Amino acid sequence: MGAKRQIAAVTTSRADFGLFEAVLERIRSDETLELRLLASGAHFVPAYGPTIREIEELGYAYERVEMPFEADSPAAISQSLGVGVQGFAGAFSRTRPDLLVVIGDRIEMLGAAYAAAPFNIPVAHLYGGKVSEGAIDELSRHALTKMSHLHFATSAAHAQRVAQMGEEPWRIFNVGSPGLDRMHNYPRATRDAVCRELRLDPARPFVLVTFHPVTLEAAQRSAQVDALVAALEQCDVQLVMTYPNADAGSSDIIAALERLAAAHPTSISSRPPPRCSAIHRAASPKRRLSSSRSSTSARARRVSSARRT
């Protein structure tokens, strides 16, 4: 057997890891490939939950790339991205991967793609061609598309949008959503198991609440949060409120949710998101592979040496 081809994959937060963990598992289990997981960003920010623990609990080795999120102002986020570019450049200088895998629409992913360009590292992008209305993530997703060499879209419509951006048809693959594959890897958790993990009364109904900053509507953020809180105060159910993504304005949302939780301690659980692996373990410790997994990693193996011409 010849030398393994190194596939570097970037994860910067809970927003991406669960969506392509099934792909990482297939790369990790392939004898011809070497998975190099580059972890960065909000994974290491306690305020957003220690999500790096989920990666560790699933047995993944990772290489930390510094991209500190010390504040959620526009300036702080831009500065963090700059630090990330330097960090990824250093990682690629130490070892140049055969292929870099990026995912989705988060601005943090741009740091890896920018750093990879001068090294002429082929880039594979998952979840391109989608639409992120009201968010600067829309810009990031399409920028990642234009900086990538291979495109793994989740639907025919998304693949068509990538093609409309000028990408060559042979580079575009409609593979479905790897995030759905992960759901097949675990038995479904019982209601009681979920309630135990989230400290809920299983006899009462509960609602999951997630609200992220609408980053293209910063001037309306206060009114949006006030409207959300006013609506939630009228709900006669238990509320499980997750923390928002690490975007500009997220601290305002967290503060509002924490105030609401403090005012209703018996009805609201406001916390950084629980580790999915904990709930999965509560259901069953046994993982299984699904025969319907998306073909992303298999395609990547065949075209890992692709370059733009």
**Domain assignments of the chain as residue spans, ordered by start:** 5-185+287-302, 191-283
Mean pLDDT rounded to a whole number for the chain: 84
How far apart are the C-alpha atoms of 95 and 283, rounded to whole Å? 39
Classify residue 16 by burial, with Cβ atoms within 10 Å: 0-12, 13-18, 19+. buried
- Contact between 64 and 39 (Cβ < 8 Å): yes
Give the per-residue pLDDT at 283. 39
Which homologous superfamily is 5-185+287-302 in?
Glycogen Phosphorylase B; (3.40.50.2000)
pLDDT at 140 over 90: yes
- Torsion angle of alpha carbons 297, 298, 304, 309, nearest 10°? -110
Measured N-to-C along each axis, helices 74-94 and 107-116 cross at an angle, to the nearest 10 degrees, of 40
Give the per-residue pLDDT at 25. 93
How far apart are the C-alpha atoms of 146 and 157, rounded to whole Å? 17
Give the per-residue pLDDT at 271. 53
- Of the ranges 16-20, 73-77, 281-285, which one carries the lowest mean pLDDT score? 281-285
User: Would you give the distance in Å from CA 288 to the centre of its chain?
Assistant: 22
Q: Between residues 104 and 217, which one has the greater pLDDT?
A: 104
Q: Between residues 305 and 143, which one has the greater pLDDT?
A: 143
Q: What is the pTM of this model?
A: 0.77
Stretch 25-39: mean pLDDT: 97
Most confident region among 63-72, 121-130, 202-211, 280-289 by mean pLDDT:
121-130
Tokens for 129?
């061609």
Total length of the chain:
309
Tell me the H-state helices in 97-236.
107-116, 137-146, 156-164, 178-184, 191-198, 221-233
pLDDT at 57 over 80: yes
How far apart are the C-alpha atoms of 9 and 163, rounded to whole Å? 24
Q: Between residues 107 and 65, which one has the greater pLDDT?
A: 65
Measure Cα distances from 281 to 24, 49, 59, 206, 285 in Å.
19, 19, 14, 21, 5
How far apart are the C-alpha atoms of 38 and 89, rounded to whole Å? 12
297: left (phi over 0), alpha (psi -120 to 50) or beta: alpha
Give the per-residue pLDDT at 1. 63
Most confident region among 107-116, 128-137, 201-210, 256-265 by mean pLDDT:
107-116
Q: Between residues 136 and 23, which one has the greater pLDDT?
A: 23
pLDDT at 275 over 70: no
Most confident region among 58-72, 94-108, 259-273 by mean pLDDT:
94-108
pLDDT at 183 over 60: yes
How far apart are the C-alpha atoms of 125 and 137, rounded to whole Å? 14
- Of the ranges 6-10, 178-182, 190-194, which one carries the lowest mean pLDDT score? 178-182
CB atoms within 10 A of CB 273: 15
- Contact between 137 and 213 (Cβ < 8 Å): no
Picking from 273, 270, 132, the residue whose alpha carbon sits closest to that of residue 213 is 132
Please give the share of the chain, as a percent, with pLDDT higher than 70: 85
- Contact between 68 and 83 (Cβ < 8 Å): yes
Give the per-residue pLDDT at 304. 35
Most confident region among 9-18, 144-153, 243-252, 270-279 by mean pLDDT:
144-153
Give the per-residue pLDDT at 291. 28
